[in-house]
Chains A and B, each alone.
Chain A
């Protein structure tokens, strides 16, 4: 990979002036993604789902995008990019372009885990060549922090609020990586903007695959999760170091964990700085933190076993 000072000089695909919240990691992730793309070799076209990032970067009569970008609706980033990519194949076939163009579909967890899951599954099965990136901010943040199937256990959201009887979301987070792995695509991975070099390596690798690929990225949300604006990357790092958000990739079915914390931190370290988990620390709710730890450990140990087995598909 190019040196950091070289990357810093690269022409930006996403420029400043967008309206994301201060401390939002959407733009941080996207700049890492576009810095990783080998734009000397190929051009990038993006299809975005409705969401925070979309409304903040494509507000008529302005745009923050220096690369071709299309927004269609909430649930159809994957089917939209299918159409774009099909037209590209046609252009190639008929010699209307000699350019190498690669495609990225962009959504958050609402547009991926929930309302957009069918479109995503269909697009992967059809084998379109595109990288689907889910910036997972654990809830429907654009409409004001309502629970999604990506909301972790115990988190208080506006539709799974902490109250006198209920203590936040009672179900565990959906394991979207496992759901998508069942499509037996060549490459899917999970990354974090805190570990930017790892994220960029994964983007580069995914964009070189001649088929569908998927990247699940943790996208700490200062507004919805309730932490100070300057802590976003720190929160992402804590998710990684507690193994709440393991960094791993699945290549042809083989799991590789890219980062194993030397000192695996207890989940409290990740939960404590976030207001959405504040109620878990109230007297009498200790069992909820224990449950959170149990779910985290179970997944981490399962991943370790899968890696150890070396099984591929």
Chain B
């Protein structure tokens, strides 16, 4: 039986890794995910797991060692944040292009400069096209649950693609919440054994890993890889259901919170969804048809399903915890707006950037977004497509 525990998001990730007991973990400390390798090291020191921990000298080497270990033939995990994730960037593509089902916990954090160690989505959004499956958690429970499911999703034979489970730095990584820690054996049973397809260590049948592909082959490789990534969408749903039957918490591609008849809708990812749910509740008490569409799977992006889930909306605000960096809007905004292009219902969509570098986002800020959506729905006019929440002064 599982038990209720009061632990941080990092500890949730570390316990998931302990129970999965991967063959190799290669990791380098970086705030705010540092407690993950620390906890893993302690679990190993205390004989609670028997993973080979490779305490590399950089995140670049962390992901490089993960690639080597996964190709060698076994289950491999790591953890990182921000600049560390950015330093891995080159090898993130090699991990996915080599079809190695590595699973990584990412305590999502702002990227320098200016140096800032606090939470936002600059890292994972910067890496959204690295070919990894990206799951985003709202809280510690989901952080824990997502990492366990990520193993089964990544290792699915139709997928064979690395996956990351992201959770907001500090908001989740360092906040103590009450969550359900499942029974060790039940988690082990759920993830099962992993049988590598072409282990390098099978010296009887020598395999070449990482051959280069000239113009007459590279394209086919990349499209084959894309197929694996896209296959992850159905597998995420399947594994989410299996997880539900095993542990009582079912997961899908997204969570539709009070969305059945919702007219004013916020689309968001991560810990801000908790705050948004509270605001939705109080608005609903006052008869306002507010709703939240929480995106759980960002890559592959389930554009059709998300557009369908927005069919009752009269006005939509997409919250991005990243700078648009010169695009029309944040990464989630451009995806959602594009998804709606083919939909029957095409309500106005606005975009907010919020919470950069750990800036607080409070119920009053979320309330102001719903106020804005009401005005847009009433007037049918969008005066500002892009704006910021809780920024000094006004944007634009």
Given A61-B217, A63-B208, A87-B23, CB of A68 within 8 Å of CB of B203: yes
Please choose the segment from B8-16, B47-55, B244-252, B370-378 that sits at the chain A interface, where 4 or more of its residues have CB less than 8 A away: B47-55
Question: When the two chains form their complex, are residues A79 and B68 in contact, meaning their CB atoms are under 8 A apart?
Answer: yes
**B64 CB–A CB distance under 8 Å:** yes
Give the docked Cα–Cα distance between A60 and B208 (Å): 9
How far does the alpha carbon of A59 sit from the alpha carbon of B209 in the complex, in Å?
Answer: 11
Whole-angstrom distance between the alpha carbons of A78 and B57 in the complex? Answer: 11
Is A83's CB within 8 Å of the partner chain B? yes
A47 CB-CB contact with B under 8 Å: yes
Contacts of A62 in B (CB 8 A): 211
Q: How far in angstroms is the closest Cβ of chain B from A176?
A: 18
B65 touches A80 (CB 8 A): yes
Of the candidates A58, A84, A91, the one whose C-beta lies within 8 Å of that of B71 is A84
- Asked if A86 meets B24 with Cβ closer than 8 Å, knowing A54-B212, A122-B57, A122-B58, the reply is yes
A71 on the B face (CB < 8 A):
yes
User: At the interface, yes or no: A55 with Cβ under 8 Å from chain B?
Assistant: yes
Task: Please give, as numbers and ranges, the residues of chain A lying within 8 Å of B207 by CB-CB distance.
Answer: 68-69
Q: Assuming the A-B contacts A68-B200, A68-B203, A90-B24, are A73 and B56 also in contact, with contact meaning beta carbons closer than 8 angstroms in the complex?
A: no
Question: Would A90 and B52 count as touching, CB distance under 8 A?
Answer: yes
Q: Decide if A82 touches B206 in the complex (CB within 8 Å).
A: no
- A-B CB pair tally, cutoff 8 Å: 161
Quick one: CB contact mask for B105-127 with A, threshold 8 Å, 1 for yes? Answer: 00000000000000000000000
Which of the segments A93-101, A147-155, A221-229, A297-305 contacts the partner chain? A93-101
Q: Does B61 contact A (CB under 8 A)?
A: yes
What's the minimum C-beta distance from A299 to chain B, rounded to whole angstroms?
29
B1 on the A face (CB < 8 A): no
Nearest CB in chain B to that of A76: its residue? B64
Confirm or deny: A306 has a beta carbon within 8 angstroms of a beta carbon on chain B.
no
- Residues of A close to B343: CB separation below 8 A: none
Separation of A91 and B75 alpha carbons in the complex (Å) = 11
A241 at the interface (CB under 8 A from B): no
CA of A60 to CA of B211, assembled, Å: 5
* Interface bits B1-41 vs A (CB < 8 Å: 1, else 0): 00000000000000000000001101000000000000000
Given contacts A76-B60, A119-B57, contact A86 B202 (CB under 8 A): no
Is there a chain B Cβ closer than 8 Å to A65's Cβ?
Answer: yes
Q: Which residue of A lies closest to B50 (CB)?
A: A93
Contacts of A90 in B (CB 8 A): 23-24, 51-52, 74
| Chain A interface size range | 35 or more
CB distance from B20 to the nearest CB of A (A): 14
Asked whether A101 and B213 contact (CB < 8 A) given A63-B208, A75-B60, A84-B71, the answer is no
Report the bound CA distance from A47 to B57 in whole Å: 19
Please give, as numbers and ranges, the residues of chain A lying within 8 Å of B73 by CB-CB distance. 87, 91
B203 pairs with A118, CB closer than 8 A: no
Least CB separation from B28: chain A residue: A122
In the complex, A60→B213 CA distance in Å? 5
Report B-chain residues with C-beta under 8 Å of the C-beta of A65.
206, 208
Asked if A121 is at the interface (CB within 8 A of a chain B CB), the reply is yes
Residues of B within 8 A of A60 (CB): 211-214, 217, 221
Asked if A80 and B67 sit within 8 Å, CB to CB, the answer is yes
- B396 is an interface residue with CB less than 8 A from chain A: no
Q: A70 contacts which chain B residues (CB < 8 A)?
A: 68, 71, 200, 208-210
Q: How far is the CA of A93 from the CA of B221 in the complex (A)?
A: 35
Q: CB distance B203 to A119 under 8 Å?
A: no
Residues of A within 8 A of B200 (CB): 45, 68, 70, 84
Instruction: State whether the Cβ of A175 lies closer than 8 Å to any Cβ in chain B.
Output: no
A67 in contact with B60 (CB, 8 Å): no
Q: In the complex, what's the smallest C-beta–C-beta distance from A118 to chain B, in angstroms?
A: 6
Interface residue? B154 (CB, 8 A): no
| A83 in contact with B66 (CB, 8 Å) | yes
Contacts of B69 in A (CB 8 A): 83-84, 86-87
**Cα of A70 to Cα of B221 in the assembled complex, Å:** 17
Q: Is B201 an interface residue (CB 8 A)?
A: yes
A61 to B211 alpha-carbon distance, docked (Å): 8
The verdict on A72 contacting chain B, using a C-beta distance below 8 Å, is: yes
Contact among A61, A94, A118, A126 with B54 in the assembled complex (CB-CB below 8 Å) = A126
Which residues of chain A from 80 to 115 have a CB within 8 Å of any chain B CB? 80-84, 86-91, 93-94, 97, 99, 101
> Which residues on the B side are within 8 Å of A86 (C-beta)?
24, 26, 52, 54, 65, 68-69
Q: Which of B58, B65, B203 contacts A83 (CB 8 A)?
A: B65
Which residues from B are CB-within-8-Å of A83?
Answer: 24, 26, 54, 64-72, 76
Instruction: Name B70-124 residues within 8 Å CB distance of A.
Output: 70-74, 76, 90-91, 94
User: Which residues from chain A contact B50 at a C-beta distance below 8 Å?
Assistant: 93-94
Give bound CA distance, A94 to B194, whole Å.
14
On whether the beta carbons of A87 and B68 are closer than 8 Å, the reply is yes
Contact partners of A101 in chain B: CB under 8 A: 201, 203
Binary contact track A34-54/B, C-beta < 8 Å → 1, others 0: 000000000111010000001
Interface contact B61-A89, CB-CB below 8 Å = no
In whole angstroms, how far apart are the Cα atoms of A93 and B213 in the complex? 36
CA distance A123 to B91 in the complex (A): 17
CA distance A125 to B58 in the complex (A): 13
**Chain A nearest CB, measured from B87 CB (Å):** 11
- Measured in the bound complex, the distance between the Cα atoms of B24 and A90 in whole Å is 8
Q: Which residues of chain A are near B206, meaning CB under 8 Å?
A: 65-69
Q: Which A residues lie within 8 Å of B94 (CB)? A: 72-73
Contacts of B214 in A (CB 8 A): 59-60
In the complex the two chains form, is B208's CB within 8 Å of A69's CB?
A: yes
4 A-B pairs closest in CB distance: A83-B68, A122-B57, A83-B65, A83-B69
Interface residues of A (CB under 8 A from B): 43-45, 47, 54-55, 58-63, 65-73, 75-76, 78-84, 86-91, 93-94, 97, 99, 101, 118-119, 121-123, 125-126
